[in-house]
Amino acid sequence: MKVTRRRGLSPIIAELLLIAITVTVGSTFFFVGTQSIGGYANGFSLLFGKSGSAAQEIYVVEYAQFAATPTVNITIRNVGYVEVQLASVNFFNLTDVVSGHPTSGIYTLTTTPALTVVRSTASPYCSVAGGAVLIPIQSFCTVSVPFDWSSGATYNLVLSTQRGNSIVVQEIA
């Protein structure tokens, strides 16, 4: 009788190799997945955190005074829960009153507005920092904006903040 030897892996070694390969591949997928999800979670937290602050930013224009040309004095009240950071003031001419002024156009504030602080117990200070007018919580101030306006013209004033909020107020000069 002839005895033949078979060469091959025993079932125990084969199972150990399969387990080792499965653990290695699974660990790699787990690591890559947690890194990706962590990045998305950080992005969402930044997005919603900024949106939350923007939702708490509430401000109104109490009045706009078309003063000696070329100046418009705008009184803004912060009625929200965070400091308002006014970034820009745009003027849209809705009527053609004087020749030379377009029927519609954008007049954008290109320089930092000259700030006039309205002194009161509710708002003793407003300030300008980083190209924005800072209006404290539950206070107000008047911003003097250089703008060449025409008497009798109707303007949409668009006030935008650094958080991305904008309000539109229609005023007649």
> CA-CA distance, 117 to 87, in Å (whole number)?
17
Are residues 139 and 108 part of one domain?
Answer: yes
What's the total number of domains in the chain? 2
Are residues 102 and 25 part of one domain?
Answer: no
Which DSSP helix (H) or strand (E) runs through 71?
strand 71-78
Per-residue pLDDT 10s for the chain (173 aa) are 566 666 666 778 888 888 999 999 888 888 877 776 666 666 655 555 555 666 788 898 988 888 877 788 888 888 888 888 888 888 887 776 555 554 444 445 445 555 544 455 545 567 777 777 888 888 888 887 777 787 888 888 888 888 888 888 888 88
Q: What is the pLDDT of residue 107?
A: 46
Q: What is the pLDDT of residue 22?
A: 92
Are residues 109 and 51 part of one domain?
Answer: no
Are residues 100 and 158 part of one domain?
Answer: yes
Are residues 66 and 48 part of one domain?
Answer: no
List the CATH number of the domain containing 69: 2.60.40
Are residues 119 and 98 part of one domain?
Answer: yes
Contact predicate 132/168, CB 8 Å: no
> Is the peptide bond preceding residue 136 cis, with omega within 30 degrees of 0?
no
- Per the structure, the complete domain to which residue 17 belongs is given by 10-56
Half-sphere exposure of 163 (CA within 13 A, CB side): 22
In a domain, 2, yes or no: no
In a domain, 137, yes or no: yes
Angle at Cα 101 formed by Cα 155 and Cα 103, nearest 5°? 60
Contact predicate 137/83, CB 8 Å: yes
Q: What is the pLDDT of residue 101?
A: 54
What does each C-alpha distance from 10 to 6, 15, 19, 53, 80 come to in angstroms?
11, 9, 15, 65, 74
